Amino acid sequence: MIGIATIAIFVFTAVFAPFIAPYPEDVIAVHMDARLLPPSTAHLLGTDEMGRDIFSRAVFGSRVSLTVIAVVVGLSAAVGILIGAVAGFLGGKIDEIVMRITDMFLAFPSILLAMAIAAALGPSLINAMIAITTTWWPWYARLVRGQVLSIKERPFVEAAVTLGAGKGRIIFRHILPNSLSPILVQMSMDAGYVLLTAAGLSFIGLGAQPPTPEWGLMISLGRIYMPQWWWCATFPGLAIMITVLGLNLIGDTLTEVLEPRGSKAG
């Protein structure tokens, strides 16, 4: 319930950011006469080095983070599911080639590979999402391939083949619907890691660029003013911590509900 409440607040804040932020114009506006003001009734979380209201930027930052999670997890799952399903169902040389390509991606730590791709493409939020997606889809491909190999030998699939059902119909109407549980668990667990990875890329200058109100970028800019003006980096960091905690709580719950045997074994 804590995880659900946390993510509900996160999504609500992202959707209604223009109405929640007290100073929506301060997301990118510069007010040097109000720079580095401490938390007060006028500015709940203080102001940053450009005089921008940190609370307003953190609120709009939730919108950026939600977009990153939705795009990266959605694209990674879509690409991985398609590739894994085709490889597992067809087998043979196609399966061997696809799995060796997948192994090539998995041979590198995902964060390092994402950094290399983001650096090659150039620093921007869109390129960071492309980089993370490129490193994330192999996990779904392997997961779905294993599920397909297990399910395609079951009687109801053999019956569909006997009745003349096409390969596409068998994969998308019979096999994948019976593989949704582990896929949903994987997506829920990945959401928090995607947020952390995107924030990490922005922190080192390979993700979102100023003046985008992205939490990792806000920490990177605010750390320069630590510890005297501590609020510049502290509150964006708390936003990341609370959001990732909520996402992980939901992921753990889905694991227990949808994969009870796996959770007990772990």
The yes-or-no verdict on residue 65 having pLDDT over 80 is yes
70-259 placed in CATH 3.40.50.300:
no
Q: Each residue of 22-49: pLDDT tens digit?
A: 988 878 888 888 889 999 998 999 999 8
Question: Which burial class, exposed, middle or buried, applies to 191 when counting CB atoms under 10 A from its CB (0-12, 13-18, 19+)?
Answer: buried
Both tokens assigned to 167: 């390969």
Gap between the Cα atoms of 207 and 128, Å rounded: 5
The yes-or-no verdict on residue 259 having pLDDT over 70 is no
Gap between the Cα atoms of 191 and 64, Å rounded: 14
Of 49, 65, 62, residue with least CA distance to 231: 49
CB 215 within 8 A of CB 199: yes
Both tokens assigned to 76: 């990674």
Phi, psi (degrees; rounded to nearest 5) at 31: -135, 85
Average of pLDDT values for 118-144? 93
User: What pairs with residue 47 in β-bridges?
Assistant: 53
Q: Each residue of 91-117: pLDDT tens digit?
A: 888 889 988 999 888 888 888 999 999
Residue-range domain boundaries for the chain: 70-259
CB 202: neighbour CB atoms within 10 A?
A: 27
pLDDT of the residue at 177: 81
